Structure formats: structure tokens, C-alpha cells
Amino acid sequence: MEATLRWTLVTALAPIAWGTTYYVTHQFLPAGHPLYGAVLRALPAGLLLLLITRRLPSGSWWWKSLVLGTLNMGAFFALIYLAAQTLPTSIASTIMALSPVVLMLFAWSALREKPRPAHLAGAAIGIAGVSLMLFTGAVTVNVTGVLASVSAMVMSSFGYILAKKWSAGIDVFSLTSWQLIAGGLMLTVAAVAVEGTPPRVSGPELAAFSYVTVVATALAFVAWFTGLRHLTAGTVGLIGLLNPVTGVLLGVILAGETLSPRQLLGLTLVFLGILLGQAVSFRFPPTPLGTPKALTAATKEPG
């Protein structure tokens, strides 16, 4: 139970850090260069982690890094930026809030992690909470934006499960580094082709990029993949609902926004959904990847 709580807290660092990027991007980063913004987020973070690990891919990990880097970083960042440009935050965030369910379905298919009823109930409650929290009135739906957001959510969910399945024997820092570098290189090619010359970056913008690179990307993804290694996909997916919650709360704390009763109810539901998932994890601790089921069962028998 103590170990499960520790990995839960580590995992929570990721969506909380990602939630801060809404405020940082809006307030400090240059507009109009989403692909270069993604490059400056992914590539330096991957190189920083590579300097720490000093370990290059070998064998099949050259193509696995490319696949995971495309699904979890490169194409994901590009699609998220497209969704942000064409959709209201309420719709984009609610679509992304569906990821716990998709994550559980992929885990069920690829890892034989059957979703527990409490996880599914927590996901339903959390999605309802995100909708209440972010939908404040009539919104315009852009089909391209919806497709981009859905694609980003499905691709990353599949990529996370692949990373969980393939990562046995690979330290988390190297796993994250290789994905970020592969995704960053792919984004660099796209940025040069689509956006041309890189934007000029001022001092405050450089500081903001440094925060997004080190904290909201390198540290966050290390924490996320660590959680996927030690917790079930359903538990990790529900923890991810802290992302929009962080964005809303930062708006209250830093931007002076106020929460309506509807939003407060939404926040309460999101936290309730997350807690349901954690309760299951505490009651049924996950079996680490690579642990034989027979050995796990034997260790639980009275002795």
C-alpha cells in the first residue's frame, strides 16, 4: 500500500506539470509557431535526459523509439496544437478526458489488464466532472479540431500501452529520452517545412521554454512512464484527469478567475473519480511487469 501511494504521487507530477503549460503558453510563449514550440519542448528535453543516462538505443529499440516517439511526442504534440487552434479548450479537454477509458481498453487488449468496475465508474465520473468544469455555454465545434483531438488522444493512449509493454529492462530515463528525441526530430522536419524560419525568442520566453522543457516535459514524462511501469493503466489514466484541474485552479490562483458552483461541482466529481481509481489500487496492488503470475500468487498465500 505504501509503495502504491508513492507511485501514485510520482505519477501525479506529470498531469499537474502538463496542466501548468496552458497558463505558461498563453502568458509567455510566442504565438503562431506551434510546431517550433513543440520542437523546443521535446528535443531539448530528450537531449537533457540523454546527457543524464548516456545510453543510446540498441537493436529493436531504434525502431521502437521511432514508433513511440511518433505516437507519444511528435504527432501527439502537433495534433494537440492543431486542436488548440481550432477548438475551444472545453471541447479539447473533454475529449482528452476520455483517455482513461481508451487507455484501459488498450491495456485490456495488449496487457490483459481487465478494467475493474471502479475504474470505469471513476472514469465516467471524472469525464462528467471535466465537462461541468469547462463547459460554460454554447461552443462552436470544428470537425478538423475534433478529429485532431480524438486522434491525439487515441494515438497517445496506444503509445503509452506500447511503452508499458515494451519497457521491461529499460530504465525510464532512457525510455523517455529516446522517445522525446525521435519525436523532436520528426517535429523539426515538419516545422521547417510548414513554418519556415524559427521564431525569435526573448529572455522571458526563453525562461518559459526552459520551464516547459525541463519540468513540464522531461520531468513530467519520466514521472508518467514511471507510473505506467508500477501502476495499472486504469489508475494512471484517472490520475491524468489532474491535468485540466490544474489548468482551472491556476486560472483562479494566478489570473484572478472565479469558480462558479457548476465548476466547483465539476472539480469535486473529478477528484471523486480519481479517488475511486486509487482505492482500487490500494486494495489490489498491481503486479509489476515481468513478474510471473504463479510466483505472485504464491507470495500471497499464507505461509
- Grade residue 288 by pLDDT with cuts at 50, 70 and 90: low
Buried b or exposed e, range 51-71, using 16+ CB within 10 angstroms = eeeebebeeebeebbbebbbb
Taking alpha carbons only, the member of 266, 236, 294, 290 closest to residue 115 is 236
pLDDT at 303 over 50: no
Helix 143-166 vs helix 75-86: angle between axes, to the nearest 10 degrees? Answer: 150
- From CA 242, how far away is CA 248, in angstroms rounded? 10
- Grade residue 276 by pLDDT with cuts at 50, 70 and 90: confident
- Grade residue 136 by pLDDT with cuts at 50, 70 and 90: low
Taking alpha carbons only, the member of 197, 140, 181 closest to residue 48 is 181
Other Cβ atoms less than 10 A from the Cβ of 195: the count is 16
- From CA 217, how far away is CA 200, in angstroms rounded? 21
Q: Which secondary structure element, helix H or strand E, spans residue 6, and what is its range?
A: helix 2-28
- The most confident of the ranges 30-44, 243-257, 271-285 is 30-44
pLDDT at 292 over 60: no
Encode pLDDT of 213-265 as tens digits. Answer: 999 999 999 999 999 999 988 889 999 999 888 888 887 888 777 778 888 89
- In this predicted structure, what is the pLDDT of residue 296? 39
Q: Which secondary structure element, helix H or strand E, spans residue 118, and what is its range?
A: helix 117-134
pLDDT at 275 over 70: yes
- From CA 167, how far away is CA 198, in angstroms rounded? 34
Percent of the chain with pLDDT over 90: 42
Encode pLDDT of 159-192 as tens digits. Answer: 999 999 999 889 999 999 999 999 999 999 999 9
- In this predicted structure, what is the pLDDT of residue 34? 80
Give 291's contacts (C-beta < 8 A, 6+ positions apart).
none
Taking alpha carbons only, the member of 149, 103, 107, 140 closest to residue 122 is 103
Mean per-residue pLDDT over the chain, rounded: 84
Q: Span 259-286, mean pLDDT? A: 79
- In this predicted structure, what is the pLDDT of residue 299? 32
Q: Span 134-156, mean pLDDT? A: 81
Q: Span 201-213, mean pLDDT? A: 89
Q: SS3 string of 156-179? A: HHHHHHHHHHHCCCCCHHHHHHHH
- In this predicted structure, what is the pLDDT of residue 293? 41
Alpha carbon distances (Å) from 290 to 165, 230, 247, 295: 10, 11, 36, 11
- In this predicted structure, what is the pLDDT of residue 47? 97
Lowest-confidence range among 11-20, 198-207, 237-246, 284-293? Answer: 284-293
CB-neighbour burial class of residue 117 (10 A; exposed 0-12, middle 13-18, buried 19+): exposed
pLDDT at 80 over 90: no
Q: Span 271-290, mean pLDDT? A: 68
- Look up residue 200 and give its DSSP letter: P
Q: Under a CB-based contact definition with an 8 Å cutoff, are residues 46 and 225 in contact?
A: no
- In this predicted structure, what is the pLDDT of residue 287? 56
